[in-house]
Structure 1
Amino acid sequence: MTPSLGFRLFVDAREVGMMSEGYVWIITDGMTDYLRSLTPLKENPSIVDAELNIYGLLAYDAAIALALAIEDVGTVNFGLRKANVSGNHSTYLATLGISPNGPKIPQALSNTSFKGLTGDYLFVNRQLPTSAFQIVNVIGDGERELGFWTPEMDLSKN
């Protein structure tokens, strides 16, 4: 749902009384980010809001997983070899070189598992299962984060 359509939906919902106590709305992260952008200016607008949404937390877990996979592969043979690029396909990126450990990283990554910020981080059939949802309460023109829901921990404030 586009933000403009979502905004119209909530305007209509307010008109028919569906934004009062007793109603629950389940919306996408994109819509939550849009609602955040509508909040009034803070007392100290120069302070950066460093809160991460669920995608920021997933990105943090992905960076940790990649670091663990690289450690698993090892850094003994970490040199770069020149890429075989010819003709018009030459780009600046091709001049950077290729790591001989590169092909080993996907397998090491698929074997990586740890307790991340979004719950248990592990691959099932080479894919990450959806494991966390951010729960927010929209109040007036703002929102209040209630926490996160995961299958392992149910609702958690962390």
Structure 2
Amino acid sequence: MTMALSDFYAKHAHYRTRLDLRTRDSADDIVTAASEGGLDTWYMMKKEKVQAIIGPQRSAEAKFVMELGRKAKVPIISFSATSPSLSQSRSPFFIRTAFDDSAQVKAIAAIIEAYAWLEVVLIYEDTDYGNGLIPYLVDAFQDVGARVPNRSAISLFSSDAEILRELGRLNSTSTRIFLVHMTASLGSKFFILAKKIGMMSEGYAWIVTEGLSTLLDPVSSEAMDSMEGVLGVRPHIPSTKYLKDFMKRWKKPNKMTAGLNLFGLWAYDTVWALAMAVEKVGIENYSSMKRNVSTNLASLGTSAMASQGTVRSFSL
């Protein structure tokens, strides 16, 4: 995101507006993200008087933060909260610059149809992110003549023993086609355990959704080895000259051992889109949020820019 700001204003030095990037860390905790005090969204809206927020990263956090954005009339712009349950119809101030997860279901269904598989077991993490995609997958499979005889929701806090017990239950059924919809933290542990009990061998077929296939960099070598033969889907990124140049510049100063994933690229593009939108709206429309010293959520101030009716002109 910092590189995006630098690149954008190097190319648009004549622009009258400038984004001022402030960062806060919610520590992947919904309560922390909503609380006042510390590094959180409330602080950014109330104390920093921001006019837009990029984030949060997870769908569970976004579900709450988008309500704060609606209350304060501050745009919440997310490049990584992909659950289909996060709809702009719930809050006109929520803007998603990533594909929502439902965009991948036709590609997955096409794989199922191509192999003429009649049954698929769904395994997913028991979060807003995990649960949000399931109805879309079930409908898509039905459209290609496949059914879901079994499904398994696994908690992020499941112990190895609990996951092994659930894998044993699934292995006792006749279906050997599995679709896994998890984030990398849970998914990497899951596949290590699946291999441990022999479920990654010949006779089984595994498909992973975009969230896991896109975020393979953080997983361990053991997890990567256990996922040999797994088929994953992810959005196509055209290999342009600009992208290649950016990747070279990214790796040089950062000496990155891991590649820049899709969400990093979406973050870069999101900053460019927001900077362009701010210039389009015009600096004269930008004033700070109305001051309100109360800590009551109901008394959260509203953006003066929003009250002028200009927030809706953001187009990303």
Same fold (TM over 0.5): no
Which bin holds the TM-score, normalised by the shorter protein? 0.3 to 0.5
Larger relative helix fraction:
2
